[in-house]
Structure 1
């Protein structure tokens, strides 16, 4: 079975590629920059861009893992269907389930459902890898995380678990027409997450509380993903322009671990501490 993985070098996509390859599937890994790809020799790496649908290599592909790009989703899915793709698994977000996402992942889900193909939507909540993108530079510099709201809770999920659920949906029966809300197995505060990174490093990492305004300034100075998402992450902006305001939502129901990873995979979701150990090199 030939499987196309779009966004193949992303935090989840690279795990999807590796797990599919390990299971012996024929994997086509699409990325805008093949030079950054480091995959097993059996994986075919190709250049492609979801913003240029004609570049997406769907010929001969039976199943596809679809990274969210709402601007071209309808066209990409139509090309995939015309080429003979029968099943699409989307990387979506728990924000769709909560009604916060109305203009990013949701339109991708809708395009896939409208195609009539087999589909599964994978909807993780807080990615554990987000903490790497926010804090790794600070930790490498002086073993201090300067951020807001140290006691804010998170159910961060290991990116490898998100990928494992996606791989199950791509390769097994019984997942068609489902959406899977995914979380990690335990509720941790930001301060506890920083402590777990310190444990993985074998040395203390300190959390220095700053105001949300100051935290946004720090992220904007760092640049990259953290700067692009600082307003949303720190509560200045809502998730979607047309979605509900965060201030109008009762968050208590979202702070309960989901059993979905264990239900799909037959094993517990991995802890944040395990994620920190698996990714400790990013913080050295």
Structure 2
């Protein structure tokens, strides 16, 4: 999030993806590690909601009561450089660029029900995650 301008850089445009709460990842991992029947299995974990970056920014903006906008970048590399002005290891930069490009191409627009299958409950919503982290977002918006 820009501390000066009230915006978030958007490297994926209309691309969609299903963000997942780290608490849901932890709960799914705990189930896999403590219950029988998961040997040799692989699980794609996603949230249940598909979002664009602009959609996520709208939820954050509503949660904190501060007007934020999504600002399109000219390239995925630009987004990485803005996010990490002091640089990152080349392998990480390449992975981030590749991920942004895949999301922009809308090839990651899917959801799974694996969190529900593994934990017995629905994944937490992005709005719930924002509410739990509102103080951090507000601090960044106010800075």
Same fold flag (TM > 0.5)? yes
Note the alpha carbon deviations across 1:21-58, whole angstroms, 9 max, x for none.
Answer: xxxxxxxxxxxxxxxxxxxxxxxxxxxxxxxxxxxxxx
1:206 Cα deviation after fit = 1.1
Instruction: Give the length in aligned residue pairs.
Output: 135
1:195-254 Cα shifts (integer Å, max 9, x gaps): 1111221222111112114323313415468x873433234999xxxxxxx6xx993xx4
Distance 1:217 1:260 in 2: 34
SS in 2 for 1:146: strand
In 2, Cα distance between equivalents of 1:224 and 1:278: 29
- List runs of 5+ in structure 1 lacking aligned partners: 1-134, 239-245
Q: Which runs of 5+ in 2 are unaligned?
A: none
Q: Secondary structure at the match of 1:188?
A: coil
Deviation of 1:173 after TM superposition, in Å, equals 2.8
Superposition TM-score, scaled by structure 1 size: 0.41
Q: More helix per residue: 1 or 2?
A: 2
Q: Is the 8 A contact 2:12 2:100 kept in 1?
A: no
Structure showing greater relative contact order (alpha-carbon pairs closer than 8 Å, 6 or more residues apart) = 2
* Alignment partners' CA distance in 2, 1:163 and 1:219: 26
What corresponds to 2:125 in structure 1? 271
Q: Which residue of 2 aligns with 1:218?
A: 82
Kindly state the Cα deviation for residue 256 of structure 1 after the two structures are TM-superposed: 2.2
1:281 aligns with 2:135: yes
Q: Deviations over 1:84-109 (max 9, x none)?
A: xxxxxxxxxxxxxxxxxxxxxxxxxx
CA distance in 2, matches of 1:222, 1:200: 30
The alpha-carbon deviation at position 171 of structure 1 amounts to 2.4
Query: What are the superposed Cα offsets for residues 160-195 of structure 1, whole Å, 9 maximum, x if unpaired?
Result: 000001111222333333222111101100111111
Are 2:28 and 2:115, in contact at CA under 8 Å, matched by a contact in 1? yes
Q: Would the aligned equivalents of 1:147 and 1:211 in 2 still touch at CA under 8 Å? A: no
Match of 2:19 among 151, 156, 163: 156
Contact 2:15 2:109 in 1 (8 A): no
Rg: which structure is higher? Answer: 1
Structure 1 residues 281, 258: closer, same or farther in 2, change over 3 A? same
Q: Distance in 1 between matches of 2:99 and 2:119?
A: 37
The runs of 4+ residues in structure 1 deviating greater than 4 Å are 222-225
User: Which residue of 2 is the match for residue 261 of structure 1?
Assistant: 115
CA RMSD of aligned residues (A): 3.0
